[in-house]
Structure 1
Amino acid sequence: MSPAARPRIILLGIDGLRWDLASESPSASTLRSLAAEGDHRDMTMDVPTLSGPGWSSLLTGTDHAQHGVRDNTFVGHRLFGHPDLLSRAFYQDTSTRTFAAAGWPPLVSPEGLGPVIHQRLEQQKAGLHTVVSRDGETHGFIRIDAEIADFTLAALNSRKVPDVAFVYFCDVDDAGHVYGALSPQYQEALARVDGHVARIWNAVGNRAADHGEEWLLVVVADHGHVDAGGHGGDSPEERASFILRWASGGDLSPWPAVVAPHQLAGLLLAERAADR
């Protein structure tokens, strides 16, 4: 398969979203449409159900014991020896253009003990890798998630459209911590993030139609929340995650009925493989 025929992939991460609270919610009309038009499956996260370990498993294709991320301090991690999805896509084909945008610094910022997404400065200088790092913990995730969506739309409408992208939203998780998963504020945050997803989905669909490109859009969460808010334990509500898939051409590759968190990156890379 030629590089031009391989699907472009955009992975949208929604931190702390419980699918049972979105699947019938008017606040999640876009996510529900993605599930209806594409594919939905539940996924069970490993304990501890924290963002650091969860996203490290999802993005690197390794489990907690391998990547060494045990909590959100990232102390003792082995991420430098376990490249992320974008890095692996690039080294699989060095013409691949990658893009990452997130408002939680440990995912993308070179400052601190991360990041999960490798910086790959040589590829950044060559215009093959773009990293957008913002600090939602300081400036608020309502504002920062909106900026992340804007940067993503700019990338999708640019001449250097990414082949593989990871985009992260944390507004829902933040609302869950402050107000609880069953609160009106959690649903309001869900509606805001759903709106970001709608804009991105629309841009992807327009590119597919206007440029004859194949696109695979995937949405995933890193953990859930207990009803009162919070996570980290082993309750079903905290371990609950999901995967949504949508392909611009309508045809989705067969995936296993059960996908473990550390298997997601490999499945996405297989979509880009020349012998797919």
Structure 2
Amino acid sequence: MTGRRPRPAPGRRPAALSSEVSVPRTPKVLVIGLDGALLGRIEDADAPHLAALTAAGLTAPSLIEPGAPTLSGPGWATILTGARPAKHRVRDNSFTGNAFARYPDFLTRLASAERDLATCAITSWAPLAEKVFSARVGTRVATPDAEYDAGTTDRAVAELRHGDPDALFVQLDAIDDAGHRHGAASPRYLEAIHGADAQVGRMVAAVRARPVDEDWLVLVTADHGHTDTGGHGGPSLPERETFLIAVGDGLAPGSVRTDVRMPDVAATALAHLGLALDPAWDLDGRPLRAPAATG
């Protein structure tokens, strides 16, 4: 990133104007998408970093709405736009006929705001970077297939260490691949979760190593589930399963909610970064909590 506002040295907080006046922390958002991940199997796996996130914040299991496609295209479109399939019109992985001009992704909304916000999307599944996020997003990277999730993670960690992103979306794909090849009930699916957990851990560590004047909200979610034998796209409950793990100020450690839905991810990210949700946007999502005061 270039042309960004100056920041304090790592580990140092800007001095307050007086003993009675404190400088508010800069809000930041990291959204991590674990394609095809089942919350129950995450709990079964050796996944200490994801377990630490659930202990530190909110966990919200949920289901894709009845009748909505349990495919990656529609699932990610719902998460990223804050609108349901009837509005964003993504019905399959081709993204044909989408209504992103009317219902853009949350990074595009942030980049379009009259503020100096740096936005970044890094995805292992190329269509997300290439077809969902608009040219307004500051950085859009589709990781080469040969690098896969390892390359996606390396790029995300580098952005967090050396860049100054206000909002970063990262999508990891290996859990979904293991589900297709071996099924959600297989040891290989658990191994894929273990690998993704280590990558999540690297990203969270990079967030924690950043300056202390930042107010990070970390959101971990999934676009759909998987059957025990492998695959998705049907109406069964395992295929419709999704979840949100959210860690940040104001979210009670170890808490659980059952009223959170996929569109709430985008709405929560927008609200945390201080954007008032305009009723004209016609979003289906609602923030998990009210944004913190900024002045």
TM-score band, normalised by the shorter chain? 0.7 to 0.9
CA contact 1:24–1:32 (8 Å) conserved in 2: no
Asked whether 1:201 is paired with 2:200, we answer no
TM-score of the two chains, using structure 1 as the length reference: 0.85
Residues 86-130 of structure 1: per-residue CA shift (max 9 Å, x gap): 111222343000111001111012xxxxx111122xx6xxxxx11
Structure ranking higher in helix proportion: 1
Change in CA separation of 1:3 and 1:79 when aligned onto 2, cut-off 3 Å: farther
Q: Which residue of 2 aligns with 1:251?
A: 250
Asked whether 1:223 is paired with 2:228, we answer no
SS at match of 2:259: coil
Q: How does 1:1-276 map onto structure 2 within 5 Å?
A: 5-26=25-46, 28-46=47-65, 47-109=68-130, 115-120=131-136, 129-136=138-145, 139=146, 143-158=147-162, 160-207=163-210, 210-247=211-248, 250-252=249-251, 257-273=258-274, 276=291
Q: Which runs of 4+ in 1 moved over 4 A?
A: 253-257
CA shift, 1:57, in A, is: 0.6
Larger radius of gyration: 2
Q: Which amino acid aligns with 2:152?
A: I
Residues 211-234 of structure 1: per-residue CA shift (max 9 Å, x gap): 431111110001100100101111
TM-score of the two chains, using structure 2 as the length reference: 0.80
Q: How many residues align?
A: 252
Q: Which ranges of structure 2 fall in alignment gaps of 5 or more residues?
A: 1-21, 277-290
Q: Which residue of 1 aligns with 2:9?
A: none
Paired with 2:208 and 2:184, the residues of 1 have a C-alpha distance of 31
Q: Which ranges of structure 1 fall in alignment gaps of 5 or more residues?
A: 110-114, 124-128
CA contact 2:59–2:256 (8 Å) conserved in 1: no
CA contact 1:60–1:84 (8 Å) conserved in 2: yes
